[in-house]
Structure 1
């Protein structure tokens, strides 16, 4: 009998791990991914890439690290931010008057895996890791779920060394409980072609890095959103140790951010231009020097809910309810821009529910990322 219980626990764990946990909130509501397709377990990195890029419904389960590193390339790299050991370099052919060097880097990083429509990608036991290569959704990719994985080690020393998750002309995509770390360029990048009905939830954007533009271990390249009329729900995420672009609303993006935690940022969290539309409610900003850049605050369509509830009822006419209050601890909060009426143009998009920031302040930093499993692959309770 003592041997039967571990076996039953393992069986239960595998059955649970092969099933998507929960359902997408907000703009990606209704996404089904690979549906009820029989789960497949790629043997190696090459098979993983083949399965993700193939046609038809698939549920792809990751139980280990898939390592794409080891094949090198060389190119010119510029010392654009200094020559210190902790400074990032940028890969580009012409450095102008800047000092340059010949860089050797992993060749896989700059070319992400092309993900086809109708896919579910699930990690098991915290062991589902993609190393050295990101994921790309473009040219009509539709109906994809990515849950409980980690993407890491994309040439962190070099800008243009790789993006973790890239979107360009995609729709109905749910990225949930994903950790991204040690990324050369951007953790999340949205290209110029429209990306509609995207939900990014419960993810850990880990900006702690060996190399950075500020040469201090804080990553600047968090999220770049330049698309036309992108619609993105951003809920329950933890954004840690960044200095900017988290996000940069640089296109006409419709961005609803609720119940996220930004922490330890000596620069600014939010930036963008006059086209971006960001509704931020029920969020926590801790040790963020400037919540928004002064330029974005002056010209962008940006609403940040207050800490004391004042002005938050203005959301009712735009999204049908009062906005949840936020928390600003040791963080710069710009006053003004309390008119969220731009969100009234979001049409028939599903608006995620949002709790008061006090209800999620402690839970989000511990639950964000690839943390869904209670047991590891050996049946041991995870710390």
Structure 2
């Protein structure tokens, strides 16, 4: 295990509770509450992808540092919410629990400097591990950390003050144990962006144990699966793509690829990844991401229905739901079939009012007919009548 994996393992189960976005992209102020399997629904341009982008940004800050994470998105100015032309200062707050319920949070707020530059206005967080509450704060280049015992006696306090370079986040610097925990948790998130072309092509062998979100090292990840994991992968894929008997990894010269062994009714035939449909490769990528070791704490998937046969969508959702004891999953979707397969309490409606995105659960007046069996959420979605709770 890497140090990050060890830290996550020692923490115990991590569950994300909520993400609050302030002046971030299309959001003025909104909170996304997470369930085990959360589905974001709403029209194109409503802000579903922007919520996923916020999670991805937090992960990239922890992995690569704030300057790199911002430059990959066109710079600080591109993240700022604008209202009638005026840009606001963005902020993100994520709340999660560890070890079966200990509350934790991390918050980042940025502010503007001349020349479209930025600084960290405030970073703060708190992690409760056992009897230790690890608090930290970073404001305008000055970092301080404090450790407090939650036991009645003794109460111990530890203060540290460190100067942080301008424009840097403490997540990548990890100046205290509390920050290291938050950084590890955020790095354990994964946004899945399967590109069937990248998954299908002959790939360079990869020593990296973490699944690349586009599927470009999928063969190497599967090669690291043990016999039981490969059998489980084949079984899950067969539920969506009938006839899959087993999955193999084949080396061709200095490249590697996945081979699918499929029962055609008369005999088993081998199909290389490049011979499989885009829909099959997308489902395959989702399943590999779920089964990879170590598993991400939360997996974010945009529009899993793309290129997948309608009849397979309910099965795919059932597979996702079956894995939520070990991993949280967030999806964005336009599919009425997926919406009908997700629990009503797990739906989050995203909509835009006067250019501002908002998120909420399904409105009470829509819940009643759904619960009474008079109509389905998917039917309301098709009629553009799946209203949010205002």
Q: What TM-score do the two structures reach when normalised by structure 1?
A: 0.26
Higher fraction of helix: 2
Larger relative contact order, structure 1 or 2 (CA cutoff 8 Å, min sep 6): 2
